[in-house]
Amino acid sequence: MKLAQQQAVAYNRRGFPVVVSDVRLHDEYCMFVDAGYLPFEVFAPVQVRTERLIKRDNSFDPETLKHVSETVRFSCPVIDNTGSMADLRRAIRRIIEQEKAKVS
């Protein structure tokens, strides 16, 4: 995770916004928040996640949803991920634009 943080800093210095899409554990969350990143949770209900996994993998072990990395919730704004990939990208772009406007 330290390498991801270093790469994110390098991209930010070059003016590129960074989305870290796979922060699932408390220590990872704290590392990025402490570095000044704004946390958002991308969330889809279990039924939606299950349907997507079956479609992608043709199989699914429901036990995987019990892993701590799948059950931990952070206290931060939530992005609804029940729509399409395009919907998710639009939501993320809106957040980035809102944050850019705050610093301008």
- Provide the domain limits for residue 84: 2-103
The H or E element that residue 14 is part of is none
pLDDT number for residue 15: 85
pLDDT number for residue 35: 84
Residues of the chain with pLDDT under 50: none
Task: Report how far residue 99's alpha carbon sits from residue 77's, in angstroms, rounded to the nearest whole number.
Answer: 13
Task: Report how far residue 91's alpha carbon sits from residue 62's, in angstroms, rounded to the nearest whole number.
Answer: 28
Task: Report how far residue 72's alpha carbon sits from residue 56's, in angstroms, rounded to the nearest whole number.
Answer: 23
Neighbours of 82 (CB within 10 A): 12
Report the domain count for the chain.
1
pLDDT number for residue 25: 86
Task: Report how far residue 89's alpha carbon sits from residue 61's, in angstroms, rounded to the nearest whole number.
Answer: 28
Query: Which of 46, 99, 94 has the alpha carbon at shortest distance from 73?
Result: 46
